[in-house]
């Protein structure tokens, strides 16, 4: 019973691996990020002679690596709903959900298994993208502490997005609708404090709810427990809602 979660996660991973969708998505993401990386690197190489004369001049980490990862975090908001949309909605659509429900596996374990499988795929994408700036370490010195903080932030950010994606996937039997609602929900969390910030409010409860409030410190190299806890709470709450929804689905699943 304890092995059910990793089994479902591995199975989810396997199902993604045999679908052209996952490979095409990965190829498009890597190509897009590689293009951005090369543009940023070319700009850095152009600016490098001038930067050398400045005191405390920004390095390749500030001008190439972190902007690339920040750009990737924005892409994740679009990407993750596409990855997670089929996790439960796809099972319902193909009438295969009873296989899991009748397997004596609890709702929470099913949801965590699905979440882990989808998150594993997204983490691989993060590693592929991170390999680009990390490759610069061969020829120049990188601020590895800051890079690792940014990568930790990206993984936590992706974790929250995947959990929201799984939750939305549990709420409908249409994967496209699940993706759209997950995108809408994460977009809402991204701009929930935009109005308050325009009025100069940046330290209130509304700011705490916003995703950018908590991902930006990681890009600056700050790992604060409040930000880690935020992403963990979002992940846990979304997965709890998904598990609750799965319980309701037991009465109607065919």
State how far the Cα of 41 lies from the Cα of 60, in Å rounded to an integer: 8
The CA–CA distances, whole Å, from 177 to 5, 75, 95, 148 equal 26, 19, 17, 35
- Map residue 221 onto helix, strand or coil: coil
Q: Measured from the CB atom, is 203 or 251 closer to other proteins? A: 251
CA-CA-CA-CA torsion sign (185, 188, 189, 190):
positive
Q: What residues numbered 70-109 form the site for other proteins, per CB under 8 A?
A: 94-106
Q: Measured from the CB atom, is 117 or 212 closer to other proteins? A: 117
Residue 248 lies near other proteins (rule: CB under 8 A): no
Residue 203 lies near other proteins (rule: CB under 8 A): no
- Map residue 155 onto helix, strand or coil: helix
Q: Measured from the CB atom, is 99 or 188 closer to other proteins? A: 99
User: By the 8 A CB rule, do 132 and 35 touch?
Assistant: no
Point out which span in 14-22, 66-74, 171-179, 231-239 binds other proteins (CB under 8 A).
14-22
Q: Work out which of 15, 70, 174, 244 binds other proteins, going by CB under 8 A.
A: 15
Residue 14 lies near other proteins (rule: CB under 8 A): yes
CB of 104 to other proteins, least distance (A): 3
Neighbouring CB atoms inside 10 A of 161's CB total: 32
Cα angle 240, 241, 245; round to 5: 115
CB of 2 to other proteins, least distance (A): 11
Binding site for other proteins (CB under 8 A): 1, 3-4, 7-8, 11, 14-15, 18-19, 94-106, 250-254
């Amino acid at each position: 019973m304890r092995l059910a979660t990793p089994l479902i996660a591995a199975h989810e991973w396997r199902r993604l691996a045999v679908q052209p969708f996952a490979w095409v998505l990965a190829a498009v993401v890597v190509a897009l990020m590689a293009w951005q990386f090369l543009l940023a690197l070319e700009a850095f190489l152009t600016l490098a002679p001038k930067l050398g004369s400045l005191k405390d001049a920004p390095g390749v980490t500030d001008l190439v690596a972190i902007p690339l990862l920040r750009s990737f975090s924005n892409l994740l908001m679009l990407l993750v709903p596409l990855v997670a949309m089929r996790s439960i909605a796809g099972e319902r659509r193909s009438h295969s959900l009873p296989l899991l429900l009748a397997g004596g596996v609890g709702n929470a374990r099913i949801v965590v298994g699905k979440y882990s499988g989808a998150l594993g795929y997204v983490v691989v994408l993060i590693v592929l993208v991170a390999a680009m700036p990390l490759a610069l370490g061969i020829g120049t010195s990188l601020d590895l502490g800051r890079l690792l903080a940014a990568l930790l932030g990206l993984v936590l950010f992706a974790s929250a997005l995947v959990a929201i994606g799984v939750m939305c996937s549990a709420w409908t039997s249409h994967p496209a609708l699940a993706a759209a609602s997950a995108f809408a929900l994460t977009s809402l969390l991204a701009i929930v404090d935009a109005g308050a910030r325009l009025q100069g409010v940046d330290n209130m409860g509304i700011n705490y709810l916003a995703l950018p409030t908590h991902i930006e410190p990681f890009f600056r190299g700050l790992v604060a427990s409040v930000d880690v806890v935020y992403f963990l709470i979002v992940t846990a709450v979304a997965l709890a809602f998904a598990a609750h929804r799965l319980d309701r689905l037991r009465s109607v699943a065919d």
